[in-house]
Chains A and B, each alone.
Chain A
């Protein structure tokens, strides 16, 4: 079983829709949960991260972690065509010697005007 599973999509929604992107992970040692956004032919950029369980909100974006079910979510409200990109979830374990960021395969999102 891969450490992080993510539905690759593609996902197509109309402008203004609420988007829900999800990942599951297998290792309960993970403590940091990230969402990276990657525009076509560009490098990924960090969108937001959460530590341990709970929600974090940044403008139209909300990241949610449920450690009991090992589930990571990213919600985008009032989606815009500029949100069209591939969204990668990533996890990072805590503790000494933990240097590897593990990525999901990414979900490609298209927001249609």
Chain B
């Protein structure tokens, strides 16, 4: 039981490049989330998927897109990376829509130069 896994662990992009961050959970959870964590800003919600087939914007969605591929997988795409998107990205999942009990992945450290 791996919990929440994220790939890649580290990534360096040039401004304007695109990439997809992958997330998968093996806990049969219904809801999944993408956060970014920046020094002095805390954890901020980018997008979430309350259930398979639905996605909604969080606090900071600009510059990102998401896909809930199936119940297990939730990907985050940066279409044209900008230096302001340098951050640590965390994926999380929760069993219920009332997702106060969230399980986090190990994170992806992204640097955009």
Taking Cβ atoms with an 8 Å cutoff, the residues of A that contact B are 6, 8, 32, 34, 41-46, 49, 88, 90, 92, 98-101, 103-106
**B82 part of interface (Cβ distance < 8 Å):** no
CA distance A99 to B97 in the complex (A): 7
Choose one: B48, B50, B100; the contact of A49 (CB below 8 Å).
B100
Taking Cβ atoms with an 8 Å cutoff, the residues of B that contact A are 4, 31, 33, 40-45, 48, 50, 56, 58-59, 90, 92, 97-107
Q: How far is the CB of A59 from chain B (nearest CB, A)?
A: 18
List 21 A–B pairs whose Cβ atoms lie within 8 Å, in order of A's numbering: A6-B42, A32-B98, A34-B100, A43-B4, A43-B104, A43-B106, A46-B103, A88-B42, A92-B98, A98-B98, A99-B50, A100-B59, A101-B33, A101-B99, A101-B100, A101-B102, A103-B43, A103-B44, A105-B40, A105-B41, A105-B42
B90 contacts A43, C-beta separation under 8 Å: yes
CA distance A104 to B40 in the complex (A): 10
